[in-house]
Amino acid sequence: MEWLKRNQITVGAGLVILVAAYVFYAVNSNVATSMFSGAWFFAVPLVLGALTGVVGERSGVVNIGIEGQMLVAAFAAFFSAAATGSLIVGVLVGMLAGIAMGAFLALTTVKGLMDQIIAGVVINIVATGLTSFFYRPGKVLSANMPQWEVPLLSKIPLIGDVFFQSGPIALFALVSVPVVHFALFRTRWGLRTRSIGEYPSAADTAGIDVIRMRLVNVTIGGIFAGAAGAYLSMEATGGFERGMTAGRGFLALAILIFGGWRPLRVFAAALFFGFTNALASQLQGVISIPQQFITLLPYLLTLIVLAVAAGRVRAPAAVGQPFVKGEGS
């Protein structure tokens, strides 16, 4: 009850959207399902990328290298899957590539005290260069990623079709959101993570090893960007193309802020963005105004929502500041 009272606006808005979605579904189930599916299809890499950002920034490390992490992972996942003929190997290698890139960011910024923005830029540039250089055309996956149907849940009208009949990485994203949310706000690890992102010297005084924790979190957080990369090259399409992330890593950063550094809100924000995107392409050719105006829609709506509802988001206080033991902050 207490929780309901505090979150009445969020819950109310959520209910209104849910009812609207089902009204739409009742009017034209085919178009509604395809549009919401399109929204989730578009949102999966944004959610995963933003989760990497959540884990890193909650620990106090800005990560603008998500784009590069995703790109390297997409590359590594596709080519290892094509070479070994095993999809599982591909996905795992993709995740490991994300972790490796995360480790690079962690070592240079947390251990080496390099500027976090510069380290992120380095990751993006290196990723573009390496993946373009080593790219070889003409490789094909031995099989398509499977489509999984979650028992029972996939039978729910609309929601089941959209979320519970999808590939393994999309389902991984769906599970990761509540897991990371719970871990961040309900576990000891989460409390410590938030404390080293807000006030590291206090956390240090309380006996938390800030350096080690940041190293581990930023490294492990790369698993989500890695999964996002594998999603792009293996699940969403069937091949790697140069620069195929097409700015999704940066979009994930925007989603991270839009979602206030909270996994559940990040999920909602990504879905919202995905839906406006699906709406814009659906309206192209239906409404006879130049498509450039229609394609402004996602950005315009995001701007409005940011200005009206999300104006109060606050970044973790110590984000971007390197921690040096004994020097305070």
Partner 1 sequence: MRSHVKLSAVVATGLVAALAGCGGTSGPATGSGGGTNTAASGDCSSAEVFCVGLVTDVGKVDDKGFNQAAWEGVEQVKGELGAQTKYVETTDPKDYAKNIKQFTDAKYDVIVTVGFLMADATRAAGKQYPNTKFIGFDQFQADPVVPNVTGLIFHEDQAGYAAGFLAGSMTKSNKIGVVLGQEIPPTQAYAAGYENGAKAANPAVSVSKVYHPAGNTAFNDPVWGAGEAKKMLAQGADFIFGAGGGTGNGALQETAKTSGAGDKVFCIGVDLDQWDTLPAAHPCLITSAEKHEKDGIGELLKQIKGNTVKPGNFFGTAGISPFHDFDSKVPADVKTKVADVVKKLEDGSLATGYKP
The footprint of partner 1 (CB under 8 A) covers 30-31, 33-35, 37-38, 41-42, 45, 107-109, 111-114, 118-119, 122, 125-126, 128-130, 132-133, 137-138, 140-141, 144, 232, 236-239, 241-244, 246-248, 278, 280-282, 284-285, 291-292, 295, 324
Question: How is 126-142 classified by DSSP, letter by letter?
Answer: HHHHHHHHH--TT---S
Which residue's CB is nearer to partner 1, number 232 or number 269?
Answer: 232
- Bridge partners of 148? 166
* CA 159 vs CA 18, 53, 152, 166: distances in Å: 10, 27, 12, 12
Q: 227 and 97 in contact (C-beta within 8 Å)? A: no
Closest separation in Å from C-beta 251 to partner 1 = 11
Q: State which amino acid sits at residue 62.
A: V
Enumerate residues 6+ apart whose C-beta is below 8 A from 20.
none
Cα-trace Rg, the chain: 20
284 vs 329 by CB, closer to partner 1: 284
Measured from the CB of residue 308, what is the shortest distance to partner 1 in angstroms? 23
Q: Which of 255, 99, 261 is nearest to 185 (CA)?
A: 261
Identity of the residue, 84 or 144, whose beta carbon is nearer to partner 1 in the bound complex: 144
- CA–centroid distance for 69 within its chain: 12
d(CA 124, CA 95): 17
Nearer to partner 1, 110 or 180 (CB): 110
Quote the least distance from Cβ 323 to partner 1, whole Å: 11
Burial class (CB in 10 A: 0-12, 13-18, 19+), 215: buried
Rounded to 5 degrees, φ, ψ at 166 are: -150, 180
Note whether 56 and 262 are within 8 A (CB). Answer: no
Q: Which is nearer to partner 1, 30 or 288 (CB)?
A: 30
The least CB distance from residue 315 to partner 1, in Å, is 24
CB of residue 121 to partner 1, shortest distance in Å:
10
Q: For partner 1, which is the closer residue by CB, 10 or 24?
A: 24
CB of 82 to partner 1, least distance (A): 10
CB of 241 to partner 1, least distance (A): 4
Return the number of the residue (60 or 120) whose C-beta is nearest partner 1.
120
